[in-house]
């Protein structure tokens, strides 16, 4: 989660944390720009591993789901990510190189690689982790 959310800022400071602004980026104890993460023992109790959970009703119109880290979302809008993913999932001529698997799986992998590469080319400064899940049967 981001420190620009008032409830997260309040939680961090209530836990004894100090938030510093480095070049326009808010950081817990001047180190981490997120308030929830795995493996940051030095930043406990300010940074917690408890996820924020939201439940969204699905519909038959849902195409796919993109699970990604801030390395993607910090440089790419939802609109661009969705447009680029849909291009990959609908591309019947996907050049998957030596990838082996069901056609739908290969397209999801190609979309994942494409989004990761695009975020890198957009100068993401963070780790980039992307998973694409196709929710449709595409012929």
Residue 107, H or E segment: helix 103-121
Question: Which of 42 and 98 is assigned the larger pLDDT?
Answer: 42
List, for residues 65-121, the tens digit of each pLDDT value: 999 998 999 999 999 999 999 999 998 765 555 555 577 788 999 999 999 999 999
DSSP codes joined into one string, 108-120? HHHHHHHHHHHHH
Domain boundaries, the chain: 6-43, 64-134
pLDDT value of residue 105: 86
Residue 128: band (very low, low, confident or very high) from pLDDT cuts 50, 70, 90:
very high
Q: What is the pTM of this model?
A: 0.77
At residue 25, does pLDDT exceed 80?
yes
At residue 136, does pLDDT exceed 60?
yes
Cis peptide before 77 (omega within 30 of 0): no
- Average pLDDT across the chain, whole number: 89
């Amino acid at each position: 989660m981001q420190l620009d959310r008032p409830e997260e800022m309040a939680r961090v400071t209530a836990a004894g944390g100090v938030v510093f602004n480095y070049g326009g980026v808010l950081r817990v104890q001047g180190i981490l720009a997120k308030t929830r993460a795995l493996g940051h023992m030095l930043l406990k109790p300010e940074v917690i591993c408890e996820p924020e959970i939201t439940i969204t009703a699905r519909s038959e119109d849902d195409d796919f789901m993109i699970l990604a880290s801030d390395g993607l979302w910090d440089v790419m809008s939802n609109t661009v990510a969705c447009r680029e993913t849909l291009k990959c999932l609908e591309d019947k001529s996907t050049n998957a190189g030596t990838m082996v698997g069901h056609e739908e799986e290969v397209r999801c992998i190609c979309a994942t690689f494409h989004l990761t590469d695009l975020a890198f080319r957009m100068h993401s400064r963070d780790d980039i982790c992307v998973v694409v899940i196709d929710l449709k049967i595409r012929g």
